[in-house]
Structure 1
Amino acid sequence: MEWVALLLLFFFLCVLLNLLLPQPPQSRWRRRLGRSTRRVTARLRRPAVPDPDPFDTLRLQTRLGHLAGEIRRVESARMYAKAHRLMALEAAYDDLLDEACRLAGVPADADRKRDEAKRWHEEQELASRGWSW
């Protein structure tokens, strides 16, 4: 058991010396191997997903608030073609909810039919992530 501890100590000291001592120039085949491994790892690595622009998020929240207000106004008013207007407003609201869920990182339920339950679920997911409108 003592030999394992000595072996680990030896490797630790070798790594420390490697870090402290100046490195000699690399040979041509080592540089070529390094470039090719960096290319392969770059292909295999997933591209970094940039953070969403906070102003895009703010614009989207403002649009959601505006459409929610319009839906409430149309529901409470007596007007011509009320059902048609409500369907159009709710479709626009659902599209904005989908975009907001994409920006917030909410997993998409593509197999679910668009209805009140899905809309409520998406609103709750966004609210739990700090969104308000």
Structure 2
Amino acid sequence: MTTMTFVKVDPPEWLLTFWKEIDDKTWGKGFDCFAEDATCRLGVAEWNGREAIRDNLRKFIDTGFTAHHDVTEYWDGGDLKVFRGIVTMTPDDPSKPVVRPVMTHFFYMDRVDRLKVRSWVGSVGPVAF
């Protein structure tokens, strides 16, 4: 059994910069928060490596919508960071509705470089019923 203490704090700059890269569709240095060989399990997706994470998120966002991520809560547990928020997904097609699914994400930090995310596990949704 593992016991971990979490502290609710303001979200760190690395997290806000990462979401901003997605929201602005710029795909740049915000992804540097990930270790080069980081893993991501986002819903049914399984991506391995920082560049695969960046590339696959770009492909997903480029399916016809703009995202805006809002942080609702951020909990720091040292090696594990927990984020909860809402993403507003605005379709490029104005005839489609805007949706605001809830997100929950777990960021497991690298044990050697504590400033890098080693593993990201998250869920978003549902985006429709």
Is the shorter-chain TM-score for this pair beyond 0.5, marking a shared fold? no
Structure whose CA Rg is larger: 1
Structure with the largest fraction of helix: 1
Structure with the largest fraction of strand: 2
**TM-score of the two chains, using structure 2 as the length reference:** 0.24
**TM-score of the two chains, using structure 1 as the length reference:** 0.24
